[in-house]
Amino acid sequence: MAAKAMFLMTVVATGLGTAFGASYTVGAPGGSWDLKTNYTRWASATTFYTGDKLWFQYSGVEHNVVEVSKADYDACNGSSPIATFKTGNDAVALAASGSRYFICSVPGHCSAGMKVQVNIRSKVVRCRGRGIRQRCRSQPSLSSAATSVCPSALAQLGLAAMVAGIVLFF
């Protein structure tokens, strides 16, 4: 029965993770973090919201990801990085609204187009009702799938599942 409670907890945690953020692989589906993708076109096809995540997938031997200021983005200068990533499978959380700038600092790559600007909008979540009956909607709403149970309600549900699991176990 403890296993059952653990399963429920996992479901609740997974729900929390997916309900309030999307993950985007940079350059996908046509490309990745490479020398042939048009990142201006790629970024303009998506509206990014706070809570979303970027994935940079590439060969760590050939490329890297350097977050820079707008001036360094425009100049393709990677010598004053805000952050540096080089594993080839790097996640960047878009926690705040505003613009973020990423380039590849391998000589020649940024000027060849390996640079992406991401504009992040803040996502407002509005909730109605209380407890596990509470329902929330992200505004602006991305789709009907944006309607989901609120984090607080999920936490309560998780707690209830845990208590039920303990009661059943003993």
Give the x-and-dash track for 55-74 against Cu ion (CB under 5 A): --------x-----------
β-pairing verdict for 23-25 and 53-57? parallel
- Number of residues engaging Cu ion in binding (CB under 5 A): 5
Minimum CB–partner distance for residue 110 and Cu ion (Å): 8
- Residue 132: CB partners within 8 Å, gap ≥ 6? 149, 153, 156, 157, 160
C-beta closer to Cu ion: residue 105 or 148: 105
Cα distance between the two ends of the chain: 9
Residues 95-154 close enough to bind Cu ion by CB under 5 A: 104, 106, 109, 114
C-beta closer to Cu ion: residue 9 or 106: 106
Omega before residue 29 within 30° of 0, cis: yes
C-beta closer to Cu ion: residue 104 or 161: 104
Nearest to 110 by CA among 121, 118, 119, 101: 101
Chain residues binding Cu ion by CB under 5 A are: 63, 104, 106, 109, 114
